[in-house]
């Protein structure tokens, strides 16, 4: 019985890789036969080779670390501002009346429509990218924090008040944990959005980063390097997703939906 | 009356320090958006008395309890407690347990205590759930959650315990078990208890007095003289239940 379970498990693990492996080998085969021009799509082996040589020269790591730093710092800035303002407008009616309309208007401006202005304001240095990505990251976290605070079970708040909880203890023990599932949804959205925005920010104006590396390679028709860049984004995106899952698993261990 | 008197004495002998507090409610009125829910309600609870309020849904019985708990403000009228120097320790049990899902059972019981101490574990032991202390509330059954809620209320050693249909959502067997638990803890602690319920049998099983609210007024107030613990199979119990039920049903509709 146990053997059968482990065999089924192994089978399931392997099955999900059948399609990717099949695609990859067809691709490789097509390139080998000459159906695919390397200008349109380089063979997988060439992509792997390009990645290898880029990492040997250290170029890959510099670009990767620059992009990673940009992503982390803008997520921190945009995310913490979103959290702060979301907590503020969610908790105080007056803050909502004062700020929410403005924020909703800004939210509806596509971050990318601001690029010309951003270049005028900040030039093409780090701050421009930081601004663009932070702005994009801000809203999912802001909205979900606001919504999370507002949708905390009123019955629980009433109960906690009747048990003598007020002010900070009420906030810490009831309101914040109640809003947390929603806040984490915002974090997850934002982590996905970071990479999308970063690609754009790095392709418009940069001297480093994965986006720059990809754009540069395009100029020289190095399609293999372009593909390395694209795959790196996919990998980093997946990494962000895994991270947000871990956060949920850790903070929502009480929640039957996350166990 | 005689029987009740001796019974009270008997209880007093068993429990030297009674925690209960006297509650006097006079001319209490409350309306929501032009609709009168309570009209000039008068009700007195003796110290340590167990009073059950019955009535159809929407007749103002829950509102009465919420006003006493200060969850809402009355339009007029007064609620006074035996000595007006301090606000008595009042705790409520709601129909839903209202446990914080992100706190473990023991921390839920300890909610509002200055710091985690032995009292919480002891209260949990009294409701028979000490072995579930480290669990999340989500894994408990409905009856267990209400027992945790009861422990959370009792850990503060209340002078007045307000019960807002706490057993309404439980199955019949768990209900009877919970009723026995509440009764035994009430006899042990001697707090004043006010139970809002739509279950006449429950009211008779637990209360010293059953009060009926209709149209926001108290229209019926009967002392239950049956000896405790009360057996539901007893003829006197059945008679009383039928009489009160008939009284509750005598008015076909309650403005709601």
Poorest-pLDDT segment among A72-76, A249-253, B148-152, B214-218: B214-218
Return d(Cα A23, Cα A20) in angstroms, integer.
Answer: 5
pLDDT at B3 > cutoff 70: no
Please check whether residue A69 is in contact with residue A63, taking contact to mean a CB–CB distance below 8 angstroms.
no
- In B122-234, DSSP assigns E strands to 160-164, 192-196, 209-214, 217-223
Return d(Cα A54, Cα A42) in angstroms, integer.
Answer: 16
What pLDDT score was predicted for residue B18? 61
Mean pLDDT on A146-161: 94
Report CB contact under 8 Å: A165, B111: yes
Chain A residues close to B102, C-beta within 8 Å: 177-178, 180, 254-255
pLDDT at A10 > cutoff 50: yes
What pLDDT score was predicted for residue A3? 57
Helix (H) or strand (E) holding B172: helix B172-189
Judged by a CB distance cut-off of 8 A, whether residue B116 touches chain A is no
CB nearest B94 (choices: A159, A180, A253) = A159
Express as a percent the part of chain A with pLDDT over 70. Answer: 97
B contact test, residue of A158, A163, A165, A176 with most B CBs within 10 A: A163
Q: How far is CA B170 from CA B127, B141, B175, B176, in A?
A: 16, 10, 6, 10
How many other CB atoms sit within 10 Å of the CB of residue A209?
A: 26
Q: Which residue on chain B is closest to A175 by alpha carbon? A: B100
Q: Where are the alpha helices (DSSP H) in chain A?
A: 2-15, 18-33, 44-57, 59-91, 93-107, 115-122, 126-150, 154-162, 167-170, 176-204, 210-219, 223-251
Judged by a CB distance cut-off of 8 A, whether residue B101 touches chain A is yes
Report CB contact under 8 Å: B111, A155: no
R_g of chain A, CA atoms, integer Å? 23
Chain B residues close to A158, C-beta within 8 Å: 71, 98
Return d(Cα A76, Cα B248) in angstroms, integer.
Answer: 62
Helix (H) or strand (E) holding B78: strand B76-81
CB nearest B111 (choices: A163, A177, A178) = A163
pLDDT at B206 > cutoff 90: yes
Phi then psi for residue A149, to 5 deg, are: -65, -40
Return d(Cα B167, Cα B94) in angstroms, integer.
Answer: 9
pLDDT at B108 > cutoff 70: yes
Report CB contact under 8 Å: A162, B71: yes
Identify the CATH assignment for A42-258 out of 1.10.3720.10, 1.10.10.10, 2.30.30.190, 3.40.50.2300.
1.10.3720.10
What pLDDT score was predicted for residue B116? 63
Chain B residues close to A162, C-beta within 8 Å: 69-71, 90-92
CB nearest B100 (choices: A156, A164, A180) = A156
Report CB contact under 8 Å: A159, B92: yes
Return d(Cα B253, Cα B250) in angstroms, integer.
Answer: 9
Chain A residues close to B152, C-beta within 8 Å: 163
Report CB contact under 8 Å: A254, B136: yes
Return d(Cα B151, Cα B160) in angstroms, integer.
Answer: 14
Q: What is the ipTM of this complex?
A: 0.82
pLDDT in tens, A44-97: 888 899 999 999 999 899 999 999 999 999 999 999 999 999 999 999 999 999
Tokens of A62: 């510099």
Nearest by Cα to A177 from A152, A143, A158: A152
pLDDT classification of B256: cutoffs 50, 70, 90: very low
Return d(Cα A12, Cα A4) in angstroms, integer.
Answer: 12
Return d(Cα A131, Cα B161) in angstroms, integer.
Answer: 56
pLDDT at A141 > cutoff 90: yes
B contact test, residue of A159, A160, A259 with most B CBs within 10 A: A159
Average pLDDT, chain B: 85
Task: Tell me the β-bridge partners of B210.
Answer: B52, B222
A contact test, residue of B99, B111, B162 with most A CBs within 10 A: B111
What pLDDT score was predicted for residue A34? 84
CA distance to partner chain A, nearest, from residue B113 (Å): 9
């Amino acid at each position: 019985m146990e053997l059968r379970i482990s065999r089924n498990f192994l089978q399931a693990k392997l099955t999900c890789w059948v399609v990717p492996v099949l695609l990859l080998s067809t691709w490789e085969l097509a390139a080998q036969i000459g159906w695919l021009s390397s200008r349109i799509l380089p063979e997988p082996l060439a992509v792997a080779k390009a990645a290898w040589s880029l990492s040997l020269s250290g170029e890959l790591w510099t670009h990767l670390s620059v992009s990673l730093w940009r992503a982390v710092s803008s997520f921190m800035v945009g995310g913490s501002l979103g959290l702060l303002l979301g907590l503020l407008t969610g908790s105080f009616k007056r803050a909502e009346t004062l700020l929410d309309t403005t924020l909703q208007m800004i939210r509806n401006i596509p971050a990318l429509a601001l690029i010309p202005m951003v270049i005028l304001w900040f030039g093409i240095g780090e701050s421009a990218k930081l601004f663009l990505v932070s702005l994009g990251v801000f809203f999912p976290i802001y909205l979900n924090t606001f919504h999370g605070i507002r949708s905390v079970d009123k019955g629980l708040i009433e109960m906690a008040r009747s048990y003598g909880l007020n002010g900070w203890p009420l906030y810490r023990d009831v309101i914040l944990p109640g809003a947390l599932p929603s806040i984490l949804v915002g974090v997850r959205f934002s982590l996905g959005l970071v990479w999308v925005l970063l690609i754009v920010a790095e392709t418009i104006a940069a001297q480093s980063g994965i986006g720059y590396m990809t754009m540069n390679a395009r100029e020289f028709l190095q399609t293999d390097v372009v593909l390395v860049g694209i795959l790196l984004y996919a990998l980093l995106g997946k990494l962000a997703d895994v991270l947000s899952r871990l956060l949920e698993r850790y903070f929502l261990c009480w929640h039957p939906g996350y166990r | 009356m005689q029987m009740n008197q001796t019974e009270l004495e008997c209880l007093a002998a068993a429990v030297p320090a009674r925690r209960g507090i006297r509650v006097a409610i006079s001319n209490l009125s409350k309306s929501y958006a032009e609709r009168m829910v309570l009209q000039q309600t008068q009700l007195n609870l003796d110290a340590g008395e167990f009073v059950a309020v019955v009535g159809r849904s929407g007749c103002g019985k829950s509102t009465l309890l919420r006003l006493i708990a200060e969850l809402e403000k009355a339009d007029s009228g007064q609620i006074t407690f035996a000595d007006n120097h301090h606000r008595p320790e009042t705790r409520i049990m709601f129909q839903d347990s209202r446990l914080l899902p992100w706190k473990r059972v023991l921390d839920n019981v300890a909610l509002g205590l200055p710091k985690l101490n032995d009292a919480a574990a002891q209260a949990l032991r009294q409701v028979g759930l000490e072995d579930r202390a480290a669990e999340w509330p989500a894994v408990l059954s409905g009856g267990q959650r209400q027992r945790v809620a009861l422990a959370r209320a009792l850990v503060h050693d209340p002078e007045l315990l307000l019960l807002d249909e706490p057993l309404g959502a439980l199955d019949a067997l768990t209900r009877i078990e919970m009723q026995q638990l509440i009764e035994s803890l009430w006899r042990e602690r001697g707090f004043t208890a006010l139970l809002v319920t739509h279950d006449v049998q429950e009211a008779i099983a637990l209360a010293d007095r059953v009060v009926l609210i209709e149209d926001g007024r108290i229209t019926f107030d009967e002392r239950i003289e049956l000896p405790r613990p009360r057996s539901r199979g007893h003829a006197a119990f059945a008679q009383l239940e039928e009489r009160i039920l008939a009284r509750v049903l005598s008015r076909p509709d309650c403005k709601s």
